Amino acid sequence: MNSFLDRREAGRTLAARLGEYAKRPDVTVLALPRGGLPVAYEIARTLSLPLDVFLIRKVYQPGCNVLIGTLASGGFETVDTNALAAHGIDRHGVEHELARARQELAEQERLYRGNGPALRIDGRTIILVYDGMATGESMLGAIAAVRAMGAAHVIVAVPVATPNARALVERVADACVCLVTPEPFHRIGVWYDDFAPVSDTSVLFLLDSAARGLRAAAA
C-alpha cells in the first residue's frame, strides 16, 4: 500500500515534477512544519531554491470544536465571524483562545527563525509544501495567508492527498502538484514506510543545511 519510503524520498519525487522553477530568483519554497520540512528540503535542495518555514495555526473553540480563526506567519489573522454567529459564540469570548494561539505561534517563529531575516513573500512565487493533505484546511489557510501577504503565484506541492482536499486546493492555488490521491485514503501516514515524527531539532538542521547549500551553490 505504501507509496513512499519516507518524506525525503517523496520530496525528491516532487522536485522532479517542479523542474520549471529551478534556480529562479523569484521563487521560495515554504514548508508547513513540522512534517513538511523534509519534503520541502529535498525540493529546495534539488532545485537550488531558498527554503523557509510558514507557520499556520487553526484556532478552535474549546468544547464545541468550532473553527474560529486562522493565524499564520507574517501577522496574518482571520476570524470566522460566520462560524461565531452560527454557534452563538461571542467574539470577546474567543479572544483568550486567539491570544494563546498568537503567543504559541510567536514562540515557534522565534525557535525556527531566531534572529534571521523576516519572511519575504511580496511579489514572489511561493511553493507551499506539506507531507500530505487529509482535509486541506491547513493548506487552504496557508494559501490565503501568502496571497494576503502579496505572493505573485502560489504553487502547492504535496506527496499525497484525498481527492476532495486536492480539488479544494486546486480551486484556489495557481497550481497543485500532488503525486497520489488514493481512495480510500485512511490517513497520511499509511502512505509512507517511515512516517516518524519530525522534531524541532530536525527542522532547524534542515533549515540550516538548506541555507548553507544555497550559499555554497552561489559561491
pLDDT tens column, 142-157: 999 999 999 999 999 9
pLDDT for the residue 128: 98
pLDDT for the residue 90: 77
pLDDT for the residue 68: 87
pLDDT for the residue 46: 97
- Summarised one tens digit per residue, pLDDT across range 121-134 is 999 999 999 999 99
pLDDT for the residue 133: 97
Regions of the chain short of the pLDDT cut 50: none
191 within 8 A of 180, measured Cβ to Cβ: yes
- Measured between alpha carbons, how far is 188 from 205 in angstroms, rounded to an integer? 24
Identify the three-state secondary structure at position 41: helix
pLDDT for the residue 89: 78
